[in-house]
Each structure stands twice: as C-alpha cells, then as structure tokens.
Structure 1
Amino acid sequence: MDGSTRMEVFKMKLRKPKIKFKPALFICLISASVMMYLIIDIPISYPIPHGCQPFTLKLPPAKNNLNSTAKTWIPNYFAARQIGKMTSSCLPPHSTLLIYAANNSVNDIDFKQGFNPVEYISFLYDGKSGTPTDMSANFDRINRQKHCAIIGNSGILLNSSCGKEIDNNHDFVMRSNFAPIEQYSGDVGVKTNLTVINIEKIWQISSILSTGNFKDPLAKTMLRRLKFLNDSVVWYPKGARFRFYVRAKLQFIARQLKTKYHIPLRIGYSWRNLEALIKWFWGMEEYYTTTGLNMYTVATTFCDQITLYGFYPFHVDKHNRRIPHHYYEDIPYNYVNKVHSFHEEFDRLTILHGIGALRLVTDRCQ
C-alpha cells in the first residue's frame, strides 16, 4: 500500500459521523426545560384579593379647578377615605409595602416574590399560609400619614417655587427614580421619605456599586444621592421573581449598602407586581400604568390627604410657557404613545382634584 492510499484510509477513519437531527427529541428537550423553569422560578399567579373591586364612586359636583391654590382648594375627606378603603382592599399593606427593617441580616433580605408551585405545596404541608407573614425577615410598616406629597418629575416644577410648600406642609413625601433635588430645592424641596425606583435604576446602582469607580461623575452623583436619602425608604414595586436578574441585583444592592458602604437606606418591595392590579382597579386602557399613578394609588392606603406636584403631560402650560419633559433635563418626548396613556391618567386625576379627593398642582406655588 503506497503513501497516498494510506492517507485516504486515514482520512476515512477520521471522517465525522453524521448525526441525524430529530425535531421531536429537540422539541421535547426544549419543552422539558421550559416546564422546569416554570415550576422552579415563576410564582403562582395569585387571584385578585378578596373584597377588591374596581374603582366605582358616585362623584359629587366638582368644587375645585386647576387654578385652585393651597388656600382656596376645598378638600373632600369623605371621598378620599372611600378611595382609600377601596385601594386598601386591593393593595393590603402587609403585602404591598414590604420594607426590610434595619435589624435583618443580609441573608434575610432576599426579595422573595410569590411562591412557585413546589414551594407553595411545601408551605401548605407545613401548616403555613404561603403569604409574607410566614417569611423570616422583619418588616417595617408605614404609619398612617395626614398630609402626603407625591413629586413627579415634570418640567412644570421648574421655576415653580414649590419647594417650601412641599417640605413644610407635608408629613410624608414620595419621589421617583432619584431625580436630582439639591440644586432644584427651591422648586421641588428636599424632604424625602420614600423613593420609587424602576429596573433601569436598579441596573445603574448595581453597576456603580460593583465597579466601585466613584471617580466617574455619574457614579459620584448617585452615591451622593443615596447618602442624602439617609434612612428613608427605596421601594421597587414591580416584578422581581419572573425577572430573576432583578431579584439578584436587589439582593446585591442591599448587601453592599448594608455591609460595605454602611448607608442606612431601608429597601422595600412588593409581594406581587402591582401594575396589572392598579390598571384593572382604575379601568385604564394603557399598556402600563405610570409610576405616578402607581405611587398615588398606593399612597391612598396610608395617607389622609394627598397633593401631587410635577404631574403635567403637556409641552405648554396655561401661560403658554414651554415645559421641558423633566424639570432637570429637556429631552424630546411624545406623551401620546403605546406604553402609557398620560392624558387619560391626567384627566382621571383632574376629576379627583375637582371633587377634592386629591390636590393637583399645575402652576407656581404662592
């Protein structure tokens, strides 16, 4: 056998075997993987809480318009209490605002949201209810508040001089997404008791804390804002179980703030994703409710009287003054889109302002 023949034989021996693709087997493997993920990581979809009904309130005649000031606006405490009773049935405090107490260990701060089928059966077998009351962590409660302010980020607040009114006239102030306040304190105040954050901010904070590069201006600013909030509450009200990466990042943030940076922020979350329930409660047609409407709805469960600042989805005010999208930045934004129904929400809030169930500030403060 000459050299060329031996080479051909050698090539034949090294020839890769042909693997026949079997679609049925491939589909079975994918299906099994999906089913395993569903069992392990997706929580049980809890039904609407008992006694929860969509918003239905016989509205009295309007006594206020958007020109009403803090002195001329006429509150309707009965309407506010009725709305609070309805929202509390849908958003019970023990599962809506789960705020980790300072005495928890980092291992107890796990942001557990719902039970998967295996966990739920196990809890029932152990004689437990399968609710947040069975969790080992200690949670703080927000006490009943008389006067609350919710601060949106609309450019209507720029040059509004509402800062003193916000800080001095309210027991509890809610903000969102770490909007800058120090250099705008004359317009938006500085008092902060609760800050709502979204997924983008969770990614941003997690990235900053993981790199520890505080020479970067953005990172330095974020750390300063976190320290400025001191012992107030940072609350994430959306899904953390299905978005498993969000839960991991929340755990990382809580661990870093508590053990490395020693910032006494209290981090909270919700037992369930609140967006769908709030959307159903108000009968909204939008794809997602806005952070502002979510904050107001939750605030009605513990606030007697609520004032909204910085909720204005228009580019021009009643004085024909051009309004930037945010009070701290001017970026292009279309308020008519497929995600949020800004104008529908604003109309709903305007009606509630008219009857005195809430106060909506859309002008300069006096």
Structure 2
Amino acid sequence: MVSKTRWRQVGILMCASFSLYVVLSYQQTYTKTCKRLCNTLNECFKINQAVLIYNNDVDEKKMSFKQNQMPELSPFQYITEFLSGSFNKRDCLLNSYFSDIQLPTMQHTCAIVASGGILRGSNCGDEINRHDFVFRANLAPIQGYTADVGYKTNITMLNLESLARIYRNFTEKTSDSHVVEDMILNRIRFLNDSILWFGKSMQRQDAKIKLKKVIEVIRKKHNLPVRVAYSWKSISIERYWKLLHHATTGFNMYAVAAQICDNIALYGFYPYSELDDGSHIQHHYYGDLKHFFYRSHVHNMPLEFSKLQNDAMTKDNVRLITKPCK
C-alpha cells in the first residue's frame, strides 16, 4: 500500500504543478534558447549555421522563411520541459518545435564544387560523383561538363545575385527571356529533386518574395521537383575567419559543410588566371571573363584560398584538389 506520506507528496506536487500552470498561463508563450539544433538522429548543428529544409509537402505560399527564430513554448510545454529538466538544455530537437522543416543528416564524404576554370579538363567528374553528398553553387551548368564536374547534386546554394537574376528572368518578359528561362530550367533539371538553398538574409532586397516566386514557377509552371532550404541565420562567417571582405558563396558552403561532413574535398577553387607554368586558365570552367579581379572591394579570393590551403595542410579530413583527377 502507498503510505499517507507518499500520497501527501503526490498531492503537493499536483497542487504545485496546477498552481504553476495557472500563474504561467497569463503569459502566452515562453521562448526557449537553443545553441544547437538537432535532427531525429540526434545529430546537432550550431544554430547560427543551421540549414533548414522544408518538407516536400509544404506549399511555397506557406513557407515563412523565418530566421533567427527560437522555439516558442506554450505554458503546458514549458511546464513539461521545466519539470523534466529539459527547458534549460541548449540542444534542441528541431521537430519538437517546428513540424514543417528538417535538418540535413551527417555525411561521411562531401564534395564542394566551385566554378573555377581549374576544373576544365580535370576529369574529376567520376570522383565527384562518388562522394556521399555534393554541394554546388548558383546553378552553374552541368550538362556538357560532366566529365570534369560530375552530375551528382545534393544541395545548391544561391547567392543574392543569382536569385535576383533567376527571378528577373522568370518574371520580366524580353525578346530572349524564353531562351534564358529554358537555360535555367535545364540546369534545374540536373538538380534531380535535390535542395535549392538560399543562405543569406531573407529580408534583404525582397529575397523572400523572389525565392517564393522562383519556387512557384519551378514547381507549378514547369512541374519540376525541387526541395527548398534556407539558413536559420544569414550566414556571416567573416569575423570568425578573419576576412576583411565578404565571403564568397564557395567559402560559405565550406563553413557550413564543416559541421555536416566528416571529410571534405574542394574542387574548382583556384583564384588565379595562370598556372605556375604561366599557361592561362579561364575564369569559369564553362566560360571566361576578361579583366576579372580576384581581389576587389567585395571579395578577396586569394585570401580565402590561402585559408583553404592551410586547412588542407593541417587537417586530415580536408582535401583541396587543384590537379587533374586522372
């Protein structure tokens, strides 16, 4: 039999819980502070670099793209976590608070494919395809270049300029807009239902409106499958990496991949127009740009490259490929 003392303790606890609920009910929600977000496999990622992926069944019109948002708990949720001791834990299971988004899973080997001309003639395509997870940037063309850059794509990061260009080509009709739109759609087809990810502020230059419209055109008008992702916080890594200029898209991908991937191989990173022997390298593997400045008031690509070189030399899990793969 349960002793009277035990029943008295249970009664006190119930009364205290009810009283606490009544008091707390006057406040509608309680904000939980998270340092890391965790997926269903209990893999956790720093919140300021977390990539949030919308579930496939979420319509683009319902995508809020809320950034810097901590979980808001109801009084009942707060009491439950308070009594269990989990409210003050800084690792937060994402799906416990946000049902329409998910996190990526950890990957053993990752390839980050930039667009540098160093990839042209590299025959790195097969090696890139063998990686578990492949990052690409700004819908750089794949068709016609697969021998050098592969075809496998798991996530494609868009910067603001690329997003604006795609939006403009989808919404503003000109004499050649159908040609440009077809070119973009051909590149999107190579995504093969992978993730299209915008990693910067959703408030800047109407990025949220533009991204939702681009997704609508891709999904509804052209019936192409594509998953959508955004960053919990606009990626800002310059201070941590001691960069004096804005980080490039490629470098931003590397910073995020560092917490997702056990091993990273970098392709297409080479911020120079000449090799050591003096032979010319075109700016992109798919075309050249005359008079391009790798060091400007916007980016300092040689500085970024030197940091990647240092990581490749000092870390066993980072490779920087600047030579042909075959």
Specify the TM-score bucket, using the shorter chain as the normaliser: 0.7 to 0.9
Q: CA shift at 1:111, angstroms?
A: 1.6
Q: Is the 8 A contact 1:111 1:251 kept in 2?
A: no
The one of 219, 232, 238 aligned to 1:279: 238
Residue ranges of structure 1 left out of the alignment (5+ in a row)? 1-47, 52-84
| TM-score computed with the length of structure 1 as normaliser | 0.67
Give distance in 2, aligned partners of 1:280 and 1:90: 17
| Structure with the higher strand share, 1 or 2 | 2
Assess if the C-alpha contact under 8 Å between 1:109 and 1:137 holds in 2.
Answer: no
Structure 1 match to 2:319: 359
SS in structure 1 of the partner of residue 188 of structure 2: helix
**Contact 2:116–2:283 at 8 Å: present in 1 too?**
yes
**Deviation (angstroms), 1:174:** 0.6
Give the aligned partner of residue 230 of structure 1. Answer: 192
Q: How does 1:27-176 map to 2 (within 5 A)?
A: 88-89=45-46, 91=48, 96-114=50-68, 138-168=100-130, 170-176=131-137
Q: How many residues align?
A: 271
Matching of residue 339 in structure 1 with residue 298 in structure 2: yes
RMSD value, Cα: 2.9
TM-score norm. by structure 2 comes to 0.74
1:294 equivalent in alignment to 2:294 = no
**In the alignment, what sits opposite 1:258?**
219
Gaps of 5+ in 2: 1-32, 37-42, 79-86
CA distance in 2, matches of 1:197, 1:89: 21
Q: Could you tell me which residue of structure 1 aligns to residue 154 of structure 2?
A: 193
Change (3 A) 1:223 1:89: closer
Query: What is the CA-CA distance between 1:91 and the residue it aligns to?
Result: 3.8
Q: Structure 2 counterpart of 1:198, which letter?
A: N
1:175 is displaced (CA, Å) by 0.6
Matched, 1:246 2:201: no
1:328, distance to aligned residue in structure 2 (A)? 1.0
2:285 to 327, 346, 357: 327
Q: String of CA shifts for 1:213-244, please: whole Å, max 9, x gaps.
A: 88732211111111221210011101112x15
Distance 1:50 1:219, change over 3 A: closer
Of 209-218 and 308-317, more deviation after overlay is shown by 209-218
% identity of equivalent residues: 34
Contact 1:172 1:192 in 2 (8 A): yes
How far off is 1:330 after superposition? Answer: 0.8
Say whether the 8 Å CA contact 2:262–2:317 is kept in structure 1.
Answer: no
Distance 2:181 2:207 in 1: 20
Change (3 A) 1:164 1:171: same
The 8 Å contact of residues 157 and 198 in structure 2, kept in 1 or not, is answered as yes
* Contact 1:173–1:193 (8 Å) recurs in 2: yes
1:104, 1:137 within 8 Å by CA — same for their partners in 2?
no
Aligned counterparts of 2:183 and 2:99: Cα–Cα separation in 1: 31
Offset at residue 211 of structure 1 (A):
5.0
| DSSP 3-state at the match of 1:323 | coil
